[in-house]
Chains A and B, each alone.
Chain A
């Protein structure tokens, strides 16, 4: 570590919560949301009108952005690559799915308590949180790191996929949970609900973004970045590295759970394919494309890749996997800093002291 980077580290200790990129991202999110709402309110004859279907689609993108944020928090700032974050997303989704199903007909056994929204809300946070706590405690305590951690997270989500495919789980087997009609007493089919879910997802992204930002500029965040860059040194200085990792991992899993819970009512179904390793690894490429360790890069990456996916699977369904695969290869080889890296390069040194979180990013 050169003197130069040490100076940067000292600079960052003064880094405030409200940096320029945070303000800008928050502004873009809020303005974007308001614009969509206004355009949606226009009469349908207007050329600028945004249909409810589009609003719902954008709401779905918001949940993906939330998930990408969760992955970036641990990959970008902690250096642990989870290839199983789809599992936490799906668990949140299943908790929400059970709640929605309980609105139409009482559920058997223990699932009946999911009919109450506070219980369901708690489950949305606790189910992924507890899994992350137990899994993370085991993994971090025995210092499973790097690719080993990635592989066992992938095995975890694969095992959960197999488990949720079983009818004996009481989670609808391979069909999953579907037939949702009411949320908090309002019909899911109504226009107001579409808009409400869109706003809720957008607000969730904003809040999670602020939360992650707050964590990363806090002392905890600085220790976590140090852990990412030189785990052994941090441990020798006297920090409990496993506790730091566990804390961030659990928070990240909970954010993913909320994302899943918001995703389910907008899409209308949750099934075991969400647990598939492919989905989890796709999330990683969103973050990689957007740019690791910048938070806003994750949001951008999720939006760009999913927009591309929506457009391209419609126009050229065969080409989509080529493009997604190409993205994986090209981004890792040519754009290791992602889109955020390109942006910061454009802005040049005016942004000095802002982006160096990324600079030390290594595998």
Chain B
């Protein structure tokens, strides 16, 4: 009735010149005639469902087909219920039911034709129609073609995707007709693939052209048995299959590369702050991992303060993590490291002690439990490029973030006054001081900068894993190796070393497993350092 009124009101506004009565009459008549054309009467609906009540699965399939081709409004729901085994008939009566929940002993049921609540039923009172696998496939195909003919482009595309491998003699013609009626290019493309697959199964060699380079697993699975024969078709299918396989292999490699770069970007983020402090000041900061942890906890705290706004919290956490961790760094430099100048092994031990204190501090203040930082919506999910290649958004963001941080640091070192002073102190401390560079101030700022970058690494890590007191500990050995591997005091070296270690690790993983891959990388770096202690990019000039 709502529809009628709605139409009526539209007519009213549009046809102001006509009399109100006439208009209403017309609207009423229109709506009635539409319903009559599309819908079926209760009796017809009953007849359609009645046809399902047979022992033969073939007959059941035909009945389902008849339902799909009928004009019944309820047909999608019927077929879905049939597929789920939830469409049934009253054992001692003529009514049909849909079981809405079959988990318990007593099932809530609704009338299949009117969808009105029909109380509860049990195994004794309602007999669900049984289906077998063939029938299931057939019903799935019917459902897919039903949603193809209705709905918006997205749902049609999804339905077309489901049709691949589901086209059979029963629905081939209707799918072909729908393909010709389809306006959307992408939906048509999917339907072409589905039809071509069917044609190939029927022995059509030309259809194979459409499938060349298609990455869908169903295409591959269907073609594999066809390629097994020794006919001309099989040979052709084999070549298509070969093309698909090599294309997939390339995308797999791209995927591995992405994962490797993403793992590497985390290593670089964790190591680059270390590269600054180690390279410039010769200070081994074992508390670096804990500074990362502090950055991650800052993100978590900002998020606690801004509930429901993870995007804003993350945006604030980037400067926040940098400043908080940087402040910790400056304090550490002023109170401890300053007094241990020129004694790197002692610095190592003292900062290790600091790392224990910071860890326990976090455990006492917050809790030993891990905290979850929620990512904003735009960092969740994946960017699905095609069937074989999808990039996780948060990893992609961390990769980009790493590159941005690297570029920022590089520009800072290259173009600013601080960078100039830092480089001067690195190259020749005494000479720099003689030229009026305040080396102690440079030390403090450098250490603060390195610590701040560690904080940024923590912000990035909080988007990938849970935040806990042990977060930074796991990165310390790796980051030192990255720094030493890349060549101490060399930002580019750190970038290359981190990225290549990440990629090597990912490439090895499928062969030997995650743990062994890590061991191999560690041992490889140890051996590399023995062979070339100055790292990939040796610093220019004399080494003492």
With A162-B515, A325-B360 given, is the CB distance from A155 to B526 under 8 Å? yes
CB neighbours of B522 from chain A (8 A)? 155-156, 158-159, 162
Which size class do A's interface residues fall under? 35 or more
Q: Is the CB of A325 within 8 A of B481?
A: no
Nearest-neighbour CB distance to chain A for B494, whole angstroms, equals 14
Alpha-carbon separation in the docked complex, A325 to B481 (Å): 24
Docked complex: A244-302 residues within 8 A CB-CB of B: 277, 281, 284-285, 288
**Chain B residue at minimum C-beta to C-beta distance from A285:** B349
B66 within 8 A of A: no
Q: Is the CB of A150 within 8 A of B345?
A: yes
**Chain B residue at minimum C-beta to C-beta distance from A324:** B356
Q: Is the CB of A318 within 8 A of B477?
A: no
Q: Is the CB of B481 within 8 A of A321?
A: no
Alpha-carbon separation in the docked complex, A333 to B530 (Å): 32
Alpha-carbon separation in the docked complex, A171 to B518 (Å): 19
B408 within 8 A of A: no
A105 within 8 A of B: no
Q: Is the CB of A163 within 8 A of B519?
A: yes
B353 within 8 A of A: yes
Alpha-carbon separation in the docked complex, A139 to B349 (Å): 22
A144 within 8 A of B: yes
A143 within 8 A of B: yes
**Chain A residue at minimum C-beta to C-beta distance from B480:** A151
B523 within 8 A of A: yes
**Chain A residue at minimum C-beta to C-beta distance from B532:** A142
CB neighbours of B477 from chain A (8 A)? 154-155, 158, 277
With A159-B519, A363-B342, A363-B345 given, is the CB distance from A138 to B530 under 8 Å? yes
B308 within 8 A of A: no
A81 within 8 A of B: yes
With A142-B533, A159-B519, A165-B515 given, is the CB distance from A324 to B353 under 8 Å? yes
Docked complex: B324-351 residues within 8 A CB-CB of A: 336, 339-340, 342-350
A-contact bits for B440-480, CB 8 A (1 contact / 0 none): 00000000000000000000000000000000000001001
Q: Is the CB of A321 within 8 A of B360?
A: yes
Q: Is the CB of A151 within 8 A of B350?
A: no
Q: Is the CB of B531 within 8 A of A142?
A: yes
B298 within 8 A of A: no
Docked complex: A151-185 residues within 8 A CB-CB of B: 151-152, 154-156, 158-159, 162-163, 165-166
Q: Is the CB of A162 within 8 A of B526?
A: no
CB neighbours of B349 from chain A (8 A)? 281, 284-285, 288, 328, 331-332
Alpha-carbon separation in the docked complex, A362 to B345 (Å): 9
CB neighbours of B361 from chain A (8 A)? 322
Alpha-carbon separation in the docked complex, A78 to B518 (Å): 31
With A146-B345, A285-B349, A333-B350 given, is the CB distance from A156 to B356 under 8 Å? no
**Chain A residue at minimum C-beta to C-beta distance from B332:** A329
CB neighbours of A332 from chain B (8 A)? 340, 343, 346-347, 349-350, 353
Alpha-carbon separation in the docked complex, A9 to B352 (Å): 34
A-contact bits for B43-60, CB 8 A (1 contact / 0 none): 000000000000000000
A147 within 8 A of B: yes
Nearest-neighbour CB distance to chain B for A289, whole angstroms, equals 10
Q: Is the CB of B350 within 8 A of A329?
A: yes
A327 within 8 A of B: yes
24 A–B pairs (Cβ distance < 8 Å), ordered by A = A138-B530, A139-B530, A142-B530, A142-B531, A144-B530, A146-B345, A151-B484, A154-B480, A155-B522, A158-B477, A159-B518, A159-B519, A159-B522, A163-B516, A166-B515, A284-B349, A321-B363, A322-B360, A324-B356, A328-B353, A329-B350, A332-B343, A332-B346, A363-B344
Nearest 9 pairs of A and B residues by beta carbon: A328-B353, A325-B356, A325-B357, A321-B360, A159-B522, A325-B353, A363-B343, A138-B530, A329-B353
Q: Spell out B's residues near A (CB within 8 Å).
A: 284, 336, 339-340, 342-350, 352-357, 359-361, 363-364, 477, 480-481, 484, 515-516, 518-519, 522-523, 525-527, 529-533
Given contacts A142-B530, A147-B345, A332-B340, 6 further A-B contacts (CB under 8 A): A142-B531, A148-B533, A285-B349, A328-B350, A333-B340, A363-B345
